[in-house]
Amino acid sequence: MKILVTGGAGFIGSHLVEKLLDEGHEVTVFDDFNDFYDSAIKEQNVASFGDRVQVVRLDIRDREKTIQNTLQGKFEVIIHLAARAGVRPSIADPELYLATNVSGTFHLLEAAKQLQVQQFIFASSSSVYGNRTEVPFSESLALYQTISPYAATKVAGEHLCSNYSHLYQIPTVCLRFFTVYGPRQRPDLAIHSFTNKIYRGNPIQQYGDGSTARDYTYIDDIVQGIVASMSYRETPFEIFNLGGSQTTQLSELIKLIEEALGKKAIINQIEEQPGDVRVTYADVSKAEKLLGYNVTTPIRYGVQKFVEWYLANRS
């Protein structure tokens, strides 16, 4: 099968591409290798693909190039992971997030419409739920308020996907990812950043009293869910949570990293940040029933696996 993975040079994307190659698919990657974090990390990710993957250096904000390259590829499936990520940076530069995450998604949907792809998969986020108090989060919850521009762009992306599925008969799945972690995780994200600083004896910034909680999802489980969604056909449009289906408080996460490293953290407690939610917690029963999704990596084991990767690759 001919598959386009946008954002395929990144953390989630590169793991997904490896899995798709293992399954014998023909894969093309779109990625702009931007400077959100060190682009050398993405370069290293794609270098591991060798000549098995066509890598197109492309900014999805460019409508003409995005549509042209997508049509030329004659893809059967589009897996759209490319986005400007992060809650706090989106508050600092909302226009960039709107241009990339909303307009960029629109450009890909326009191309998907012309190709009449077999499946369009959109990477959404648990941030769409905002500061909900009803946990675990179910896909049926009404999304009446988001608290960051990043989250708003993901809601907008879901609605665009719904529109195009309805209007142009494009089979579409939106996947709400819950705090993905694992080997090759972006260096700015909590588990990677904390591990690096604790290992080097540098202080870590703990936002609030450590009671905020996240549903951390190991990368292998996310990839499993994405691949399963490629063959979903029961409805023309659907939304699924992909999470670890358990919550871990920030203070407990730090302890798990300390245990895995065998080092104590130096903690600087600072105020919670605008746009950060108090808790995320995925109800994955729908994905279990309709996709066969199955969480295989609990947080303690996942953190240990990440730390092992970090220690082997810290240079």
Closest by CA to 281, choosing from 203, 154, 178, is 178
Return the structure tokens found at 293: 């999704």
The secondary structure of 199-236 as a DSSP string is HHT--EEEETTS--EE--EEHHHHHHHHHHHTT--SSS
**Phi (first) and psi of residue 275, to 5 degrees:** 95, -20
What CA–CA distance (Å, rounded) separates 67 from 28?
14
Place of tokens 């879901």: 158
Catalytic residue among 97, 150, 216, 281: 150
Q: Where are the alpha helices (DSSP H) in 94-148?
A: 94-97, 104-115
What CA–CA distance (Å, rounded) separates 50 from 103?
31
Q: Where are the alpha helices (DSSP H) in the chain?
A: 11-22, 39-47, 63-73, 87-92, 94-97, 104-115, 149-168, 190-200, 219-229, 250-261, 285-291, 299-313
Respond yes or no: is residue 293 known to be catalytic: no
What CA–CA distance (Å, rounded) separates 313 from 308?
9
What CA–CA distance (Å, rounded) separates 38 from 8?
15
Closest by CA to 284, choosing from 79, 161, 126, 83, is 126
What CA–CA distance (Å, rounded) separates 307 from 148?
30
C-alpha pair distances (Å), 33 with each of 6, 92, 132, 219, 245: 11, 20, 34, 21, 32
What CA–CA distance (Å, rounded) separates 161 from 113?
11
Which residues are annotated as catalytic?
Answer: 150
